[in-house]
Amino acid sequence: MPGRLLRGLWQRWRRYKYRFVPWIALNLSHNPRTLRYVPEESKDKVISDEDVLGTLLKVFQALFLNDFNKQSEILSMLPESVKSKYQDLLAVEHQGVKLLENRHQQQSTFKPEEILYKTLGFSVAQATSSLISAGKGVFVTKGLVPKGAVVSMYPGTVYQKYEPIFFQSIGNPFIFRCLDGVLIDGNDKGISKVVYRSCNGRDRLGPLKMSDSTWLTSEIHNPLAVGQYVNNCSNDRAANVCYQEFDVPAVFPIELKQYLPNIAYSYDKQRDINQGEELFSNYYTIVS
């Protein structure tokens, strides 16, 4: 019995160590190929934010159109200008068809990974990693990924530096630390899963979803939301992708937020400060 327990712990450690920050740090000197040098935070960009945003909008818009027959509630809350934009896009895709009235009978939907391939020329998915005992990995399942392309997103709950994450982090190999100290919990199990679902339900505005929670299931609506399973490189397997941080702009189309696989841990409703109000800070920054 003790031997079986020790073997189980050892196997779990062999999978976990590839994501255990102290272990990675101690082994950098033995494998310089695993280290990506960034001289300054401002220079940590392989492609521009505009290109990242353009890719996300392109993929999300294609997913939205593919699932158009289920978007009626959302469309009813959008301005006429936005509705007409999607009408025009649908008309281009299906020339000569009465799309909005008969879409339920005439539409043949594609799987999300098929939409990704049609949109970007490749598709990605989770599978057993080629690294021994590394668990899951992410593979290009179809097509060719060109240099500078967005290949995945790191999903999860976003924590500011001052927010509690102790219990969520215990035994959790999916905590990603950004350059500014912000943490993303990409674990799709346990307490991390419960926290994400809770925050996802909290921020929903009627039929309008502010984030995607399907990455927690086997039925993923956003095929890019697999970045938490991209493993660190090894001596035998050089890195072929790198992380790049991106802040979703406030003007991001509200109807496409249903595909964003991230949610803030704390609800922070930004608003103007009225005359006569007392100022209260979070003890980290004071800005107007």
CA distance 182 to 17: 22
Between the alpha carbon of residue 128 and those of residues 15, 62, 248, 257, the distances in Å are 12, 28, 31, 30
Write down the H helix ranges in 94-189.
Answer: 99-106, 112-120, 166-169
**133 pLDDT tier (thresholds 50, 70, 90):** confident
Mean of the per-residue pLDDT values for the chain? 83
Highest mean pLDDT among 97-106, 150-159, 266-275: 150-159
The structure's pTM equals: 0.79
Highest mean pLDDT among 1-10, 131-140, 264-273: 131-140
Q: What is the mean pLDDT of residues 75-81?
A: 92
CA distance 227 to 186: 9
Whether 98 shows a pLDDT value over 70: the answer reads no
Give the pLDDT confidence score for residue 100 in this predicted structure. 46
Between the alpha carbon of residue 241 and those of residues 7, 11, 23, 34, 115, the distances in Å are 33, 27, 21, 11, 22
Whether 214 shows a pLDDT value over 70: the answer reads yes
Higher-confidence residue: 259 or 177?
259
Q: What is the mean pLDDT of residues 85-111?
A: 65
**31 pLDDT tier (thresholds 50, 70, 90):** low
CA distance 208 to 30: 49
Phi, then psi, of 173 in degrees rounded to 5: -85, 5
**Please, what is the end-to-end C-alpha distance for the chain in angstroms?**
62
CA distance 221 to 17: 30
Write down the H helix ranges in the chain.
Answer: 2-16, 21-27, 49-66, 72-75, 80-93, 99-106, 112-120, 166-169, 190-202
Give the pLDDT confidence score for residue 38 in this predicted structure. 57
Whether 284 shows a pLDDT value over 50: the answer reads no
CA distance 119 to 147: 16
Q: What is the mean pLDDT of residues 171-176?
A: 92
Q: What is the mean pLDDT of residues 134-156?
A: 95
Q: Which two tokens stand for residue 36?
A: 């990506």
